[in-house]
Amino acid sequence: MKIKTILAAGAMTVAAVAAHNAQAGAVLDGIKAKGFVQCGVNTGLPGFSSANAEGKWEGIDVDICRGIAAAVLGDANSVQYTPLTAAQRFTALQSGEIDILSRNTTATTTRDAKLGLTFVGINYYDGQGFLIPKALGVTSATELDGATVCVEPGTTTELNLADYFRAKGMSFEPVVIENINEATAAFFSGRCDVYTTDASGLASIRTTMAENPDDYVILPEIISKEPLGPVVAQGDEQWSDVARWSFLAMVEAEEFGVTMGNVDDMKANSTNPGIQRLLGVSPGMGEALGLDEEWAYRIIKNVGNYGESYEKNVTAKLGLERGINALWTDGGLQYAWPVR
């Protein structure tokens, strides 16, 4: 793991020397030239990004990359995945090793302003929680004084954890393990009393990695705000626009009721000017982004709208309802900027 980080740092220097990174349009041109999108994903978090039995990557974070590939290259499968740990992810992006990082990453001031990153949207509103064996009889996070807590390093989770216990005047002992598989194994072997990460991640770990999911509970307290979303490197505004609007088009499509199934019909018959703009019937949007006019049509045709992606990955695999990730019209937070 250390070696990877050092390699990444070396790559960073080399990439910096190459000095192609910061030119506007360079990333998009590079993707068109090489014929695929290089996408940084989680090493394995079912529902967000994980490889299935056939070795194909799937999840809502993966769908972001698939959508962009469909918009830019016309084929949602033209994506190469780079699985990254939390600690490796930003270096990989800064060095230009990946084009986009879509790995349940929390948007924060430091990351946005100091690390040279641009968050292009929030595809999952989350919050940090605690997973604990039922046998311990704990019902609230306020009873966790003195607990041993397993946590991944290089995450906002690690900082929130320290903040929360400090604010409550409680103490804890952290066990910090970089690889999520080693970390969860340590938790399930009883090394820690508690595992902490984003609530969605806890649900994923509980349903997919626990021997018997019913032996574990997620405590009711959500101790932080974790707006998770895709990230690109700063300096190429055209590329961040493409990434941002590829995601927003999926949300916009859900608002308009455009789905994978009816997108052809909508394209042929809809008289709604908003849908016509989105699907390129009335031109202009694609050109503005430096793409062709069918960019959004292809995203929805190949990947589906935001609701479909959520249903297929998060609800079906983790049993999590939409909650605050519902559309604003349903009382949630997902709100697409108008495509016009």
Residues that bind other proteins (CB under 8 A): 1-2, 5-6, 8-9, 12-13, 15-17, 19, 21-22, 86-87, 90-91, 94, 110-111, 113-116, 136, 144-148, 153-155, 158-159, 161-163, 165-166, 172-179, 182-183, 185-186, 189-191, 193, 233-235
Region at 84 (left for phi over 0; alpha for psi -120 to 50; beta for the rest): beta
Residues in a beta bridge with 49: 45
Beta strand pairing call for 147-151 and 194-198: parallel
Least distance CB 256 / other proteins (angstroms): 36
CB 325 → other proteins: shortest distance, Å? 26
**Distance separating alpha carbons of residues 340 and 330, to the nearest angstrom:** 23
Q: Which is nearer to other proteins, 186 or 222 (CB)?
A: 186
Record the tokens describing residue 99, joined without a space: 């084009």
Q: Is 301 helix (H, G, I), strand (E, B) or coil?
A: helix
Q: Which residue in the block uniquely carries the two structure tokens 């999590």?
A: 320
**What's the start-to-end Cα distance of the chain, in Å?**
45
Q: Minimum distance between the CB of residue 241 and other proteins, rounded to whole angstroms?
A: 17
Q: Is 190 helix (H, G, I), strand (E, B) or coil?
A: coil
Q: Closest distance between other proteins and the C-beta of residue 110, in Å?
A: 7
User: Which 8-state DSSP code applies to residue 191?
Assistant: S
Give the separation between CA 287 and CA 277, rounded to whole angstroms: 12
Output the smallest distance, CB 6 to other proteins, in A: 6
Return the number of the residue (61 or 178) whose C-beta is nearest other proteins. Answer: 178
Residue 327 burial (C-beta neighbours within 10 Å; 0-12, 13-18, 19+): middle
Closest to other proteins by CB, 21 or 104: 21
Which CB atom, from 145 or from 215, has the smaller least distance to other proteins? Answer: 145
* Shortest distance in whole angstroms from residue 151 CB to other proteins: 9
Burial class (CB in 10 A: 0-12, 13-18, 19+), 296: buried
- Which residue's CB is nearer to other proteins, number 95 or number 270? 95
Q: Which is closer to other proteins, CB of 69 or CB of 232?
A: 232
Angle at the Cα of 88 from the Cα atoms of 87 and 93, rounded to 5 degrees: 130
For the CB of residue 119, give the shortest distance to other proteins in the complex, in Å.
14
Nearer to other proteins, 58 or 152 (CB): 152
